[in-house]
Structure 1
Amino acid sequence: MGVCEQLVQFEHRYGWRHSPQQHADMMRGDREHRRFFLEGRMERKGRCFIATLVYGEGAEVAVLRSFRDRVLRATLIGRAFIFGYYRMATGVCRLLQGHLHLLRITRALLRPVVWMAARVLASRGRAGR
Protein backbone atom coordinates (compact mmCIF):
# COMPACT_ATOMS: atom_id res chain seq x y z
CA MET A 1 0.00 0.00 0.00
CA GLY A 2 2.95 2.31 0.35
CA VAL A 3 2.31 3.16 4.02
CA CYS A 4 5.10 2.83 6.53
CA GLU A 5 4.44 0.28 9.28
CA GLN A 6 5.59 2.78 11.93
CA LEU A 7 3.04 5.32 10.65
CA VAL A 8 0.26 2.75 10.94
CA GLN A 9 1.27 1.99 14.53
CA PHE A 10 1.56 5.69 15.38
CA GLU A 11 -1.89 6.48 13.97
CA HIS A 12 -3.36 3.49 15.80
CA ARG A 13 -1.82 4.59 19.11
CA TYR A 14 -2.38 8.39 18.87
CA GLY A 15 -5.03 8.83 16.23
CA TRP A 16 -4.91 10.52 12.87
CA ARG A 17 -4.28 14.24 13.27
CA HIS A 18 -3.41 17.15 11.03
CA SER A 19 -1.04 19.95 11.84
CA PRO A 20 -2.40 23.50 11.49
CA GLN A 21 -0.38 23.88 8.29
CA GLN A 22 -1.82 20.65 6.86
CA HIS A 23 -5.33 21.80 7.75
CA ALA A 24 -4.74 25.19 6.05
CA ASP A 25 -3.35 23.42 2.98
CA MET A 26 -6.36 21.11 2.81
CA MET A 27 -8.73 24.08 3.04
CA ARG A 28 -6.81 25.85 0.24
CA GLY A 29 -7.00 22.66 -1.84
CA ASP A 30 -10.76 22.44 -1.28
CA ARG A 31 -11.15 26.06 -2.43
CA GLU A 32 -9.11 25.37 -5.56
CA HIS A 33 -11.15 22.25 -6.33
CA ARG A 34 -14.39 24.24 -5.98
CA ARG A 35 -13.02 26.99 -8.25
CA PHE A 36 -11.91 24.43 -10.82
CA PHE A 37 -15.34 22.78 -10.71
CA LEU A 38 -17.12 26.11 -11.20
CA GLU A 39 -14.82 27.04 -14.09
CA GLY A 40 -15.60 23.70 -15.70
CA ARG A 41 -19.30 24.46 -15.46
CA MET A 42 -18.69 27.90 -16.93
CA GLU A 43 -16.79 26.35 -19.84
CA ARG A 44 -19.70 24.09 -20.75
CA LYS A 45 -22.21 26.91 -20.81
CA GLY A 46 -19.78 29.66 -21.83
CA ARG A 47 -20.06 31.10 -25.30
CA CYS A 48 -18.20 33.76 -27.22
CA PHE A 49 -21.22 36.06 -27.26
CA ILE A 50 -19.86 38.99 -29.24
CA ALA A 51 -17.88 36.89 -31.72
CA THR A 52 -20.86 34.61 -32.31
CA LEU A 53 -23.08 37.63 -32.96
CA VAL A 54 -20.53 39.13 -35.36
CA TYR A 55 -19.25 36.00 -37.14
CA GLY A 56 -21.91 33.36 -36.51
CA GLU A 57 -20.73 29.85 -35.70
CA GLY A 58 -17.63 30.07 -37.88
CA ALA A 59 -13.94 29.29 -37.73
CA GLU A 60 -13.19 32.62 -36.03
CA VAL A 61 -15.40 31.73 -33.08
CA ALA A 62 -13.76 28.29 -32.81
CA VAL A 63 -10.33 29.95 -32.67
CA LEU A 64 -11.44 32.37 -29.95
CA ARG A 65 -13.02 29.58 -27.89
CA SER A 66 -9.89 27.48 -28.17
CA PHE A 67 -7.76 30.46 -27.15
CA ARG A 68 -10.02 31.06 -24.16
CA ASP A 69 -9.87 27.44 -23.05
CA ARG A 70 -6.18 26.72 -23.76
CA VAL A 71 -4.51 30.05 -23.01
CA LEU A 72 -6.67 32.40 -20.94
CA ARG A 73 -7.95 29.80 -18.47
CA ALA A 74 -4.37 28.88 -17.58
CA THR A 75 -3.67 32.21 -15.85
CA LEU A 76 -5.32 34.18 -13.09
CA ILE A 77 -5.42 37.33 -15.22
CA GLY A 78 -6.94 35.33 -18.09
CA ARG A 79 -9.66 33.93 -15.83
CA ALA A 80 -10.40 37.44 -14.55
CA PHE A 81 -10.67 38.65 -18.16
CA ILE A 82 -13.08 35.80 -18.98
CA PHE A 83 -15.19 36.63 -15.94
CA GLY A 84 -15.36 40.32 -16.88
CA TYR A 85 -16.15 39.46 -20.49
CA TYR A 86 -19.10 37.27 -19.51
CA ARG A 87 -20.43 40.04 -17.27
CA MET A 88 -20.41 42.72 -19.96
CA ALA A 89 -20.83 40.77 -23.22
CA THR A 90 -24.61 40.42 -23.12
CA GLY A 91 -25.01 44.19 -22.79
CA VAL A 92 -22.63 44.77 -25.70
CA CYS A 93 -24.57 42.26 -27.79
CA ARG A 94 -27.84 44.07 -27.03
CA LEU A 95 -26.21 47.30 -28.17
CA LEU A 96 -24.88 45.71 -31.39
CA GLN A 97 -28.06 43.90 -32.42
CA GLY A 98 -29.86 45.63 -35.22
CA HIS A 99 -27.01 48.04 -35.98
CA LEU A 100 -25.29 46.74 -39.10
CA HIS A 101 -22.63 49.47 -39.10
CA LEU A 102 -21.63 48.66 -35.49
CA LEU A 103 -21.43 44.96 -36.36
CA ARG A 104 -19.09 45.74 -39.27
CA ILE A 105 -16.89 47.91 -37.04
CA THR A 106 -16.79 45.20 -34.37
CA ARG A 107 -15.91 42.57 -36.98
CA ALA A 108 -13.04 44.76 -38.18
CA LEU A 109 -11.83 45.27 -34.60
CA LEU A 110 -11.99 41.54 -33.85
CA ARG A 111 -10.12 40.47 -36.99
CA PRO A 112 -6.63 41.20 -35.54
CA VAL A 113 -7.63 39.57 -32.24
CA VAL A 114 -8.63 36.38 -34.05
CA TRP A 115 -5.42 36.48 -36.07
CA MET A 116 -3.26 36.85 -32.92
CA ALA A 117 -5.17 34.10 -31.11
CA ALA A 118 -4.62 31.76 -34.05
CA ARG A 119 -0.89 32.59 -34.08
CA VAL A 120 -0.55 31.93 -30.34
CA LEU A 121 -2.42 28.64 -30.63
CA ALA A 122 -0.28 27.59 -33.60
CA SER A 123 2.94 28.40 -31.75
CA ARG A 124 1.77 26.45 -28.70
CA GLY A 125 0.87 23.53 -30.93
CA ARG A 126 4.41 23.48 -32.39
CA ALA A 127 5.92 23.68 -28.91
CA GLY A 128 3.88 20.62 -27.86
CA ARG A 129 2.10 22.33 -25.00
Structure 2
Amino acid sequence: MKPPAKRLSGPDSRPTVSRVASIFFCERKAVFDSVFGEIKTPETLRQAELGEAEHARFEREGAAAIERASRDERCFIATAVFGAGAPETRSLRDFRDRALMPSPAGRLFVRTYYALSPLIVPALRKHAGLAAAVRVILRAAVRLADEAGRG
Protein backbone atom coordinates (compact mmCIF):
# COMPACT_ATOMS: atom_id res chain seq x y z
CA MET A 1 0.00 0.00 0.00
CA LYS A 2 1.26 3.44 -0.93
CA PRO A 3 1.81 6.06 1.75
CA PRO A 4 -0.54 9.04 1.46
CA ALA A 5 0.74 12.01 -0.49
CA LYS A 6 2.28 14.68 1.70
CA ARG A 7 0.45 17.96 1.86
CA LEU A 8 2.63 20.97 2.41
CA SER A 9 1.52 23.78 4.65
CA GLY A 10 3.11 26.98 5.80
CA PRO A 11 5.84 28.77 3.83
CA ASP A 12 6.67 25.59 1.85
CA SER A 13 3.11 25.30 0.52
CA ARG A 14 3.74 27.72 -2.37
CA PRO A 15 5.27 25.98 -5.37
CA THR A 16 8.57 27.41 -6.50
CA VAL A 17 9.34 28.17 -10.12
CA SER A 18 11.74 25.23 -10.05
CA ARG A 19 8.98 22.91 -8.78
CA VAL A 20 6.53 24.01 -11.46
CA ALA A 21 9.20 23.68 -14.16
CA SER A 22 10.11 20.22 -12.89
CA ILE A 23 6.53 19.06 -13.46
CA PHE A 24 6.85 19.92 -17.14
CA PHE A 25 10.41 18.61 -17.35
CA CYS A 26 9.78 15.25 -15.70
CA GLU A 27 6.20 14.42 -14.80
CA ARG A 28 7.14 11.00 -13.40
CA LYS A 29 9.60 12.52 -10.95
CA ALA A 30 7.02 15.06 -9.80
CA VAL A 31 4.50 12.26 -9.15
CA PHE A 32 7.15 10.12 -7.42
CA ASP A 33 8.19 13.05 -5.22
CA SER A 34 4.61 13.85 -4.26
CA VAL A 35 3.91 10.21 -3.31
CA PHE A 36 7.19 9.22 -1.65
CA GLY A 37 8.71 12.56 -0.78
CA GLU A 38 11.60 14.32 -2.38
CA ILE A 39 15.03 12.79 -1.97
CA LYS A 40 17.36 15.58 -0.97
CA THR A 41 21.01 14.71 -1.28
CA PRO A 42 23.65 17.29 -0.40
CA GLU A 43 24.15 17.88 -4.14
CA THR A 44 20.43 18.41 -4.85
CA LEU A 45 20.22 20.78 -1.87
CA ARG A 46 23.22 22.72 -3.21
CA GLN A 47 21.72 22.85 -6.71
CA ALA A 48 18.37 23.98 -5.30
CA GLU A 49 20.11 26.73 -3.37
CA LEU A 50 21.93 27.85 -6.51
CA GLY A 51 18.64 27.79 -8.44
CA GLU A 52 16.85 29.85 -5.81
CA ALA A 53 19.72 32.37 -5.82
CA GLU A 54 19.48 32.59 -9.61
CA HIS A 55 15.70 33.14 -9.45
CA ALA A 56 16.21 35.88 -6.84
CA ARG A 57 18.88 37.53 -9.03
CA PHE A 58 16.53 37.39 -12.02
CA GLU A 59 13.76 39.06 -9.98
CA ARG A 60 16.13 41.79 -8.75
CA GLU A 61 17.40 42.47 -12.27
CA GLY A 62 13.85 42.65 -13.64
CA ALA A 63 12.75 45.06 -10.90
CA ALA A 64 15.85 47.21 -11.43
CA ALA A 65 15.27 47.27 -15.20
CA ILE A 66 11.67 48.37 -14.71
CA GLU A 67 12.79 51.10 -12.31
CA ARG A 68 15.47 52.35 -14.76
CA ALA A 69 13.01 52.29 -17.64
CA SER A 70 10.49 54.39 -15.74
CA ARG A 71 13.14 57.16 -15.59
CA ASP A 72 14.41 56.59 -19.14
CA GLU A 73 13.34 59.22 -21.62
CA ARG A 74 14.90 57.52 -24.64
CA CYS A 75 12.66 56.68 -27.51
CA PHE A 76 14.88 57.57 -30.43
CA ILE A 77 12.72 56.85 -33.46
CA ALA A 78 9.46 58.16 -31.98
CA THR A 79 11.29 61.29 -30.82
CA ALA A 80 12.73 61.77 -34.30
CA VAL A 81 9.38 61.51 -36.09
CA PHE A 82 6.93 62.90 -33.48
CA GLY A 83 9.01 64.94 -31.02
CA ALA A 84 10.14 64.27 -27.45
CA GLY A 85 6.97 65.42 -25.71
CA ALA A 86 4.46 64.12 -28.26
CA PRO A 87 1.59 61.96 -26.99
CA GLU A 88 2.69 59.18 -29.36
CA THR A 89 6.18 59.18 -27.90
CA ARG A 90 4.81 59.10 -24.34
CA SER A 91 2.47 56.25 -25.26
CA LEU A 92 5.33 54.18 -26.68
CA ARG A 93 7.44 54.85 -23.57
CA ASP A 94 4.52 53.75 -21.38
CA PHE A 95 4.18 50.56 -23.44
CA ARG A 96 7.90 49.89 -23.05
CA ASP A 97 7.70 50.29 -19.28
CA ARG A 98 4.42 48.40 -18.83
CA ALA A 99 4.66 45.57 -21.34
CA LEU A 100 8.26 45.09 -22.45
CA MET A 101 10.46 45.74 -19.43
CA PRO A 102 8.86 43.17 -17.09
CA SER A 103 9.93 40.23 -19.26
CA PRO A 104 13.39 39.02 -20.31
CA ALA A 105 12.35 38.92 -23.97
CA GLY A 106 10.98 42.46 -23.72
CA ARG A 107 14.18 43.73 -22.10
CA LEU A 108 16.22 42.07 -24.85
CA PHE A 109 14.04 43.78 -27.45
CA VAL A 110 14.51 47.17 -25.75
CA ARG A 111 18.30 46.71 -25.50
CA THR A 112 18.43 45.78 -29.19
CA TYR A 113 16.29 48.79 -30.05
CA TYR A 114 18.57 51.10 -28.05
CA ALA A 115 21.60 49.69 -29.86
CA LEU A 116 20.15 49.94 -33.38
CA SER A 117 17.76 52.88 -33.42
CA PRO A 118 20.42 55.63 -33.12
CA LEU A 119 21.74 54.32 -36.45
CA ILE A 120 18.29 54.79 -38.05
CA VAL A 121 17.52 58.30 -36.79
CA PRO A 122 19.90 60.13 -39.20
CA ALA A 123 18.12 58.53 -42.17
CA LEU A 124 14.75 59.64 -40.77
CA ARG A 125 16.01 63.20 -40.44
CA LYS A 126 17.46 63.17 -43.96
CA HIS A 127 14.51 61.56 -45.79
CA ALA A 128 11.10 63.11 -45.09
CA GLY A 129 9.29 60.34 -46.99
CA LEU A 130 10.89 57.67 -44.83
CA ALA A 131 9.97 59.60 -41.68
CA ALA A 132 6.37 59.89 -42.90
CA ALA A 133 6.19 56.13 -43.53
CA VAL A 134 7.62 55.41 -40.08
CA ARG A 135 5.05 57.81 -38.55
CA VAL A 136 2.23 55.79 -40.15
CA ILE A 137 3.67 52.53 -38.80
CA LEU A 138 4.27 53.98 -35.33
CA ARG A 139 0.75 55.44 -35.14
CA ALA A 140 -0.59 51.93 -35.73
CA ALA A 141 1.78 50.64 -33.02
CA VAL A 142 0.55 53.39 -30.67
CA ARG A 143 -3.07 52.37 -31.25
CA LEU A 144 -2.20 48.75 -30.46
CA ALA A 145 -0.19 49.76 -27.39
CA ASP A 146 -3.01 51.98 -26.12
CA GLU A 147 -5.57 49.20 -26.65
CA ALA A 148 -3.31 46.73 -24.82
CA GLY A 149 -3.03 49.20 -21.94
CA ARG A 150 -6.80 49.48 -21.67
CA GLY A 151 -7.35 45.73 -22.14
Q: Identify unmatched segments of 5+ residues in structure 2.
A: 1-44
* From 42, 54, 67, the counterpart of 1:40: 67
Report the Cα offset of residue 27 of structure 1. 4.8
TM-score, length basis structure 2: 0.60
Question: In the alignment, which residue of structure 2 is the partner of 1:30?
Answer: 57
Q: Could you list the per-position Cα deviations for residues 27-71 of structure 1 after superposition, in whole angstroms to 9, with x for gaps in the alignment?
A: 542354245435533543351110011111211111111111011
Contact 2:91 2:146 (8 Å CA) reproduced: yes
Question: In the alignment, which residue of structure 2 is the partner of 1:49?
Answer: 76
CA distance in 2, matches of 1:38, 1:109: 27
Q: Does 1:114 align with 2:142?
A: yes
CA distance in 2, matches of 1:121, 1:28: 28
Q: Identify unmatched segments of 5+ residues in structure 1.
A: 1-18, 124-129
User: Which has the bigger relative contact order, CA under 8 A and spacing at least 6?
Assistant: 1
CA distance in 1, matches of 2:65, 2:106: 15
1:65–1:92 CA distance, 2 compared to 1 (3 A): same
Percent identity over the alignment is 30
Q: How many residues align?
A: 105
Give the partner amino acid of 1:52.
T
1:81–1:45 CA distance, 2 compared to 1 (3 A): same
Q: CA RMSD in A?
A: 2.1
